Amino acid sequence: MIGQRFDANGAHFAFTDRWGGVSAVPYEELNLGGAVGDDPEAVLANRGSPPARSGSTRRGWSG
Domain spans of the chain? 5-54
Which residues are paired to 12 by β-bridges?
7
| Rounded CA separation 54/5 (Å) | 7
Angle 19-20-26 from CA coordinates, rounded to 5°: 65
pTM: 0.65
User: What pLDDT band is residue 23 in, cutting at 50, 70 and 90?
Assistant: very high
Q: Which of 27, 14, 13 is nearest to 2 (CA)?
A: 14
| Rounded CA separation 15/39 (Å) | 23
| Rounded CA separation 19/9 (Å) | 29
Give the tens place of pLDDT for each residue, 29-55: 888 888 999 999 999 888 887 666 666
